Amino acid sequence: MAETPEPVVKKPSGGSIDRGKAQKKFSSITAWENSKKAALEAKLRKKEEELEKKKAEYAEKMKNKVAFLHKKAEEKRAAVEANRGEELLKAEEMAAKYRATGNTPKKLLGCF
């Protein structure tokens, strides 16, 4: 009998090598994605910090404006109070003068 050779099933050579290449590509893509994400997140944090700084500066400006307005209002109140005091003193002097002379002011008699 003639011996028939058994067909030899060829195993695909380099199968594990192909998987290794694909794995390397996947890992390099993942690394690229992670580095881009990290860069964008750092940029976002930087912008947020800049906005917080601007917000704090603006709040400080507004506080200064409020303090300035309060100071101006106090000055105006003091001026009004001083003016009122002067008018009161002037009225008291006029009253004392009219009492001393016994005359009545002509302006008050204008309504009769």
pLDDT by residue (tens digit) across 4-14? Answer: 666 655 555 55
Quick one: average pLDDT of 57-81? 97
pLDDT above 90 (res 101): no
Quick one: average pLDDT of 74-79? 96
Neighbours of 39 (CB within 10 A): 10
98, 105 contact by CB (below 8 A): yes
26, 20 contact by CB (below 8 A): no
Cα(10)–Cα(103) distance, integer angstroms: 138
Question: What does the pLDDT look like over 28-44, one tens digit per residue?
Answer: 999 999 999 999 999 99
Cα(44)–Cα(38) distance, integer angstroms: 10
Q: What is the pTM of this model?
A: 0.51
Outline where DSSP puts E strands in 1-65: none
Give residue 77's identity as a one-letter amino acid code. Answer: R
Position 18 scores a pLDDT of 78
Give pairs for 88-97: CB < 8 Å, separation 24+.
Answer: none
Cα(101)–Cα(81) distance, integer angstroms: 30
- Which pLDDT band holds residue 96 (cuts at 50, 70, 90)? confident
